[in-house]
Chain A
Amino acid sequence: MGWFLLPFDNLLCIVLGISFTVGFSSLLVIVVPAVLGVSIGIRRLYMKSLLKVFEWATVRMERGAKEKNQHLYKPYSNGIIAKELSSLEQEIQELRASGTTLSSEPEFEMADIMYFCRRGVESIVDDEVTKRFSAQELESWNLLTRSNFNARHISLRLSVLWGLGLFIRYGFLLPLRVTLAASGIGLLVVLTTIVGFIPSGCENKPKNGGICVANHTTPIDVIILANDGCYSMVGQIHGGLIGVVQRAMVKSSPHIWFERSEVKDRHLVAERLSNHVADKTKHPILIFPEGTCINNTSVMMFKKGSFEIGCTVYPVAIKYDPRFGDAFWNSSKFGMVNYLLRMMSSWAIVCSVWYLPPMSREEGEDAVQFANRVKAAIATQGGLVDLLWDGGLKRGKVKNTFKEEQQKLYSKVLVGDQEDQGEDRPQEDEEEELEEGDQNEDRPLEDYTPRPLEDCSLRLQEEEEERGSETPMKDQ
């Protein structure tokens, strides 16, 4: 019965042969143009056809939902509530006016709690911060289970398509990319899942002796920027695979890696950064001032450390197209290996990189203001929401000083006449107090215009640094 096994054997050979051929040729198709820097146009075709398929899938799901007379879960990208951004004082006046009260003097009304009550419940229903630390929701389904919220409405055809997608992604794309990655890491060049890469503003590329800042979404940001220029990295030394890569990188060009204990000493950090920048032969430093990965819908507070050094800053905006695969690394949910697996089994990682014109600190502008100016430029270019909240809120609690700011604003509404007494004090006294990190509880209410809830963080960032830092950076 030997001949019975023969066709089977043959079949196995044929299958293996085909897969090897396919695999090898795709490797060639990818690696050769990449090395030569030439684009064949396969990527664009790939992306276009994928988008068409996604749209079709979403339409099918909507139809399926309608037939069953149920509702399709629609992600709401703009936030659930339309919030008006006016100051605390304006809102309280508005609240009091709604009751058509005749009293016009600043006084307490029992109804004032309704302002705080409403703001509080509004933030429970929807807030600006917590949603930045989880993956963005998509308008249309991209055939990945991980981004599907309407599993009930998948028809048979759609399931077949999904199965096909699964096979392509795990059976073809994943092994392909793993092979590339394995060989790549061996060569210290990690080509992973980058299929689309659209840079613009190439004339603004960072030069030696400067600092490049960008918004941070994933470790892949580094790869993408490194693709297009040489940088020196700044960061903490990690253990494991990343540590190996870090130590190896140091052998080829100077990077600034810190031990965990040194990170806390801002003086030391700033010194090393300044030294590196002063040396014109060294590459520009690449820094992510947010300090943590954000989900690419917004830019959060930039830590002022890198903006104090006083050299040219080259802002870079990086925006990923979420339709093909979500690049955001939710480090509290997924480890590195899990993340890489998800990356490599996505359809593609598509990102747009904009190199913005260089910026320097202006006269009379302090580090925080400069940082915010750069952040605003990056946010505008990338189409991201510009937030003043700290990315550290991903893991930590918000500081009490913000609440104290709210309380101060409200007190001003109640006892507004104290403000007149405050104005008699000479201007220099007030400025001095601020610089020394005034601990005095009885400080008179300064004359400033009340700002909306979110803006508090700007002012308080300054005050917090003055009060709380162990090694204060004194302005000479």
Chain B
Amino acid sequence: MGSRASTLLREEEIEEIKKETGFSHSQITRLYSRFTSLDKGENGTLSREDFQRIPELAINPLGDRIINAFFPEGEDQVNFRGFMRTLAHFRPIEDNEKNKDPIASEPLNSRSNKLLFAFRLYDLDRDDKISRDELLQVLRMMVGVNISDEQLGSIADRTIQEADQNGDNSISFNEFIKVGNVYILYIDIDIDI
């Protein structure tokens, strides 16, 4: 299991990832070990099948969408940098990051970026709008066969009604922020090394 892990990841790379994602040195080496243990093909990248081999992820109703979020547009492999970049969204916001210089580039784990991540789980076609269909798709993934089409449809309609403010029958990113902002820190994962 990742037997030569920490020797293959060079110090400079660790520093770069640290700057980009904000993870600590030990968290990065630990996650690199995890990355290599998932990488059954041992070619330095993960494919979708590598993720699906995790049983707890395979039974997650939104599993496929989450896996998708790791892969850049149209690509089938993700390397360690990409892996960490996506995981960075789930890093809790530390106190010293709260009042950062606004001119410096926004950290990956900012509130806004977290919300964008969640938004993109819905917005599959990346048109910056969650349409009724896209909402229904996600709802159907989460409930399976247990709720009828009509009932699901009315749930979707109600949700859009509550969130939609400009009347275009879809939810834009700003409208999403308004309904999601209070909850977003729920996704934070504390990687305890």
- Nearest CB on A from B63, distance (A): 6
Q: Does B144 contact A (CB under 8 A)?
A: yes
Q: Does A225 contact B (CB under 8 A)?
A: no
Whether B54 lies near A114 (C-beta < 8 A) is no
- How far does the alpha carbon of A124 sit from the alpha carbon of B87 in the complex, in Å? 9
- Which residue on chain A has the smallest CB distance to residue B33? A73
Whether B143 lies near A410 (C-beta < 8 A) is yes
- Which residue on chain B has the smallest CB distance to residue A73? B6
Which residues of B168-193 have CB atoms within 8 Å of chain A's CB atoms?
A: 171, 176, 179-180, 182-193
- How far does the alpha carbon of A6 sit from the alpha carbon of B111 in the complex, in Å? 84
B155: chain A residues within 8 A (beta carbon): 107-108, 414
| Contact digits for A94-130, partner B, Cβ 8 Å, 1 yes 0 no | 0110111100000111111111111111111111111
Q: Does A445 contact B (CB under 8 A)?
A: yes
Whether A114 lies near B7 (C-beta < 8 A) is no
Whether B58 lies near A117 (C-beta < 8 A) is no
Whether B56 lies near A123 (C-beta < 8 A) is yes
Whether B52 lies near A445 (C-beta < 8 A) is no
| Interface-central residue, B51, B122, B144, by most chain A CB under 10 Å | B144
- Size of the A side of the interface (Cβ < 8 Å), in residues, is 69
- How far does the alpha carbon of A135 sit from the alpha carbon of B151 in the complex, in Å? 49
Partner of B179, one of A98, A110, A148, A403: A110
| Contact digits for A42-69, partner B, Cβ 8 Å, 1 yes 0 no | 0000000000000000000000000000
- Nearest CB on B from A105, distance (A): 11
- Nearest CB on B from A118, distance (A): 5
Partner of A407, one of B56, B122, B144, B159: B144
The contact size tier of chain B is: 35 or more
Whether A406 lies near B139 (C-beta < 8 A) is no
- Given A100-B182, A130-B37, A113 contacting B122 (CB threshold 8 A): yes
Whether A127 lies near B142 (C-beta < 8 A) is no
Whether A411 lies near B143 (C-beta < 8 A) is yes
Whether A99 lies near B37 (C-beta < 8 A) is no
Partner of A108, one of B117, B145, B159: B159
Q: Does B124 contact A (CB under 8 A)?
A: no
Q: Does B2 contact A (CB under 8 A)?
A: yes
A70: chain B residues within 8 A (beta carbon): 11
Q: Does A459 contact B (CB under 8 A)?
A: no
- How far does the alpha carbon of A456 sit from the alpha carbon of B90 in the complex, in Å? 26
- Which residue on chain B has the smallest CB distance to residue A145? B3
- How far does the alpha carbon of A409 sit from the alpha carbon of B82 in the complex, in Å? 33
| Contact digits for A404-426, partner B, Cβ 8 Å, 1 yes 0 no | 11111011101100000000000
Majority SS at the chain A contact face: helix
- How far does the alpha carbon of A276 sit from the alpha carbon of B91 in the complex, in Å? 58
Whether B184 lies near A114 (C-beta < 8 A) is yes
- How far does the alpha carbon of A63 sit from the alpha carbon of B4 in the complex, in Å? 20
| Contact digits for B60-71, partner A, Cβ 8 Å, 1 yes 0 no | 111100100000
- Nearest CB on B from A367, distance (A): 23
- Nearest CB on B from A142, distance (A): 14
B4: chain A residues within 8 A (beta carbon): 149, 151
- Given A99-B183, A118-B189, A125-B31, A408 contacting B37 (CB threshold 8 A): no
B55: chain A residues within 8 A (beta carbon): 127, 129-130, 389, 393, 398, 402
Q: Which of A25-33, A74-82, A177-185, A253-261 contacts B (4 or more CB under 8 A)?
A: A74-82
- Nearest CB on A from B7, distance (A): 6
- How far does the alpha carbon of A284 sit from the alpha carbon of B191 in the complex, in Å? 48
Q: Does B163 contact A (CB under 8 A)?
A: yes
Whether B61 lies near A114 (C-beta < 8 A) is no
Q: Does B5 contact A (CB under 8 A)?
A: yes
- Which residue on chain B has the smallest CB distance to residue A390? B55
Whether A81 lies near B190 (C-beta < 8 A) is yes
- Which residue on chain A has the smallest CB distance to residue B182? A99
- Which residue on chain A has the smallest CB distance to residue B89? A121
Whether A403 lies near B59 (C-beta < 8 A) is yes
Whether A117 lies near B144 (C-beta < 8 A) is no
- Given A110-B176, A408-B146, A82 contacting B190 (CB threshold 8 A): yes
For the complex of A and B, 4 pairs with smallest distance between CB atoms: A407-B144, A411-B146, A99-B182, A123-B56
Residues on A lying within 8 angstroms of B by beta carbon are 70-71, 73-74, 76, 80-82, 95-96, 98-101, 107-131, 134-135, 137, 146-152, 389, 393, 397-398, 402-408, 410-412, 414-415, 441, 445, 453, 456
Residues on B lying within 8 angstroms of A by beta carbon are 1-7, 11, 25-26, 29-31, 33-34, 37-38, 51-63, 66, 87, 90, 117-118, 121-122, 138-139, 142-147, 151, 155, 158-159, 163, 171, 176, 179-180, 182-193
Between A and B, 5 residue pairs with Cβ closer than 8 Å are A95-B186, A117-B121, A121-B87, A152-B7, A404-B144
What would 17 more interface pairs be, CB under 8 Å, given A119-B60, A125-B191, A407-B143? A76-B30, A80-B191, A81-B191, A108-B158, A109-B159, A111-B184, A113-B138, A116-B60, A125-B189, A127-B54, A127-B55, A127-B57, A149-B5, A405-B59, A407-B144, A408-B146, A456-B59
